[in-house]
Amino acid sequence: MIQVNPTLELLAPAGDMEKLKYALAYGADAVYAGQPMYSLRARENGFNSVQDIADAIAYCHARGRKFYLTSNIYPHNNKIRSFQKSLDEFISLGPDALIMSDPGMIAYVRKNHPNAEIHLSVQANCTNWSTASFWKDIGVSRVILSRELRLREIAEIKAELPDLELETFVHGAICMAYSGRCMLSTYMNQRDANQGMCSNACRYEYTLFEESKQEKYTPVKGKFFLKESQNPESGMMEVDEDEFGTYFMNSRDMCAIELLPELASAGVCSFKIEGRTKSLYYLARVVQSYRKAIDFVLKGQPVADSVIQDVLKTDSRGYMPGFFKPHNLPPQNYESTRVRSLKGYVAAAVRSWDASTSEAVVSVKGQISADRKVEIFSPESSRQTIISKNSLKNQKGLVVETLHSGMENCRIQLEQDPGEYAFLFLEE
């Protein structure tokens, strides 16, 4: 039987309070959210104030879950004092740990808040036991390992430092640079990834143009290759461009769900999902799949294929299992910045249940009409049902044929309560 840490943690992203609630409902043990202005999701952070974070921490703690505050920008001089002041304020709220990367700011917290727990951010790129040992000596209790490590290297770090907690990303976006430490976004859009403002410039569709006499530029068609000019031995790298352009820096997303047993054996105690800006449905589906997978690991069993298939149904940039083991998939997805794996769409998110009329009160996310088969997907179960005639009501309470995306407080009659946090998923 596989030996695992009995306290394996599923750590989910919380882009805002609503996502935090869904992450917990679908099985996360802990969530992470950005310190306003000072995390690497500075632009898309749904937590904007001290009160927002205080509410989030209270919500998690009331349910016996943990809340980690991501405070991982690399500040320039002009931000140091304000960052320190902000840290003082947020630490007083009692997050379970701070996720940090800047050595100077870590030293500040260690000195001024000796009891605050610090987890080293993936942004600090810890790739070996010597660096991990350095951070442990500084007083970091957990290291979030670089995504670029092999399983063998993780096991070696654990063997050298058995008391240090190791966390690793197992699902979500991967940078073509070492976890965000790149200047591409600054170069293209004057938005610094290391200040939390990455514009995802590596994902853009790029098209090659040539100068022409008639118009200033015309698109160039054909096959193109790059070669290192000074090295006759170097191979040709195809810059594959079709009618949709080329995505030559667009990394596939990671899905390492099958590797959880081996990662646990290597000494990882916390499995992290990336994606604070992803949709509620994506978050729910991914968190639920990894919850089930961790439960298999805790029972010493391999992850069931049905669980793996479920998570692969989520949209992505094309999945690969990361860098833990060699594999044959190219790390880039040259063809598209989005792979649609969902065979259908989310029609509605259930907000509440009116037992007196057997109606679910919903936010409509996609068009929904009567006589359609839907999957009711909830934290507890997944089942099929048919939306019967005259069972759809708009926000005014009027029976309608169709509900449209964006409508709030609509009603759908169902045989039974779908449960809190459920979705209605319409297969195509």
Amino acid at 186: T
Establish if 275 lies at the interface with ligand SF4 (CB under 6 A). Answer: no
Residue choice 193, 284, 293, 348 for contact with ligand SF4 (CB under 6 A): 193
- The sign of the CA dihedral 190, 192, 197, 203 is positive
Does position 124 interact with ligand SF4 (CB under 6 A)? The reply is no
Q: Does residue 73 interact with ligand SF4 by CB under 6 A?
A: no
Annotate the chain with three-state secondary structure.
CCCCCCCCEEEEECCCHHHHHHHHHCCCCEEEEECCCCCCCCCCCCCCCHHHHHHHHHHHHHCCCEEEEEECCCCCHHHHHHHHHHHHHHHCCCCCEEEECCHHHHHHHHHHCCCCCEEECHHHCCCCHHHHHHHHHHCCCEEECCCCCCHHHHHHHHHHCCCCEEEEEEEECCCCCCCCCCCHHHHHHCCCHHHCCCCCHHHCCECCEEECCCCCEEECCCCEEECCCCCCCCCCEEECCECCEECCCCECEEECHHHHHHHHHHCEEEEEECCCCCCHHHHHHHHHHHHHHHHHHHCCCCCCHHHHHHHHCCCECCEECCCCCCCCCCCECCCCCCECCCCEEEEEEEEEEECCCCEEEEEECCCEECCCEEEEECCCCEEEEECCCCCEECCCCCECCEECCCCCCEEEECCCCCCCCCEEEEEC
To the nearest whole angstrom, how small is the minimum distance from the Cβ of residue 179 to ligand SF4? Answer: 8
Q: Considering the rule CB under 6 A, would residue 197 count as an interface residue with ligand SF4?
A: no
Give min distance, CB of 41 to ligand SF4, in A. Answer: 12
What are the residues whose beta carbons fall under 8 Å from the beta carbon of 53, sequence distance 6 or more? Answer: 33, 35, 36, 47, 69, 90, 93, 95
**15-23, 74-82, 105-113, 177-185 -> range binding ligand SF4 (CB under 6 A):** 177-185
Given 97, 202, 286, 320, the residue binding ligand SF4 (CB under 6 A): 202
Selected range binding ligand SF4 among 46-54, 182-190, 291-299, 420-428, rule: CB under 6 A: 182-190
* Binding status of residue 182 toward ligand SF4 by CB under 6 A: yes
198 contacts ligand SF4 (rule: CB under 6 A):
yes
Residue placing its CB nearer to ligand SF4 in the complex, 182 or 422: 182
**Per CB under 6 A, does 42 bind ligand SF4?**
no
Among 175, 403, 412, 424, binds ligand SF4 (CB under 6 A): 175
Least separation in angstroms between CB 43 and ligand SF4: 12
Please report how close the Cβ of residue 277 comes to ligand SF4 at its closest, in angstroms.
Answer: 12
Binding of ligand SF4 at residue 12 (CB under 6 A)?
A: no
If one asks whether residue 196 binds ligand SF4 (CB under 6 A), the answer comes out as no
Asked if residue 71 binds ligand SF4 (CB under 6 A), the reply is no
Binding piece for ligand SF4, criterion CB under 6 A, among 95-103, 198-206, 292-300, 304-312: 198-206
At 84, the amino acid letter reads Q
Rule CB under 6 A: choose which of 39, 71, 123, 185 binds ligand SF4: 185
CA 421 vs CA 279, 373, 380, 417, 426: distances in Å: 13, 19, 10, 11, 16
* Contact between 177 and ligand SF4 per CB under 6 A: yes
Number of shown-chain residues binding ligand SF4 (CB under 6 A)? 12
Stretch that binds ligand SF4, among 18-26, 169-177, 228-236, 307-315 (CB under 6 A): 169-177
Q: Is residue 45 part of the contact set for ligand SF4 (CB under 6 A)?
A: no
Cβ at position 176, least distance to ligand SF4 in Å: 5
101 belongs to the binding site for ligand SF4 (CB under 6 A): no
For residues 193 and 263, which CB has a smaller minimum distance to ligand SF4 in the complex? 193
* Nearest Cα residue to 372 out of 392, 354, 395: 392
Give the nearest distance from C-beta 201 to ligand SF4 in angstroms.
4
Shortest gap between Cβ of 244 and ligand SF4 (angstroms)? 19
Q: Which of 180, 261, 267, 275 binds ligand SF4 (CB under 6 A)?
A: 180
Q: Residues in the site for ligand SF4, rule: CB under 6 A?
A: 175-177, 180, 182, 184-185, 193, 198, 200-202
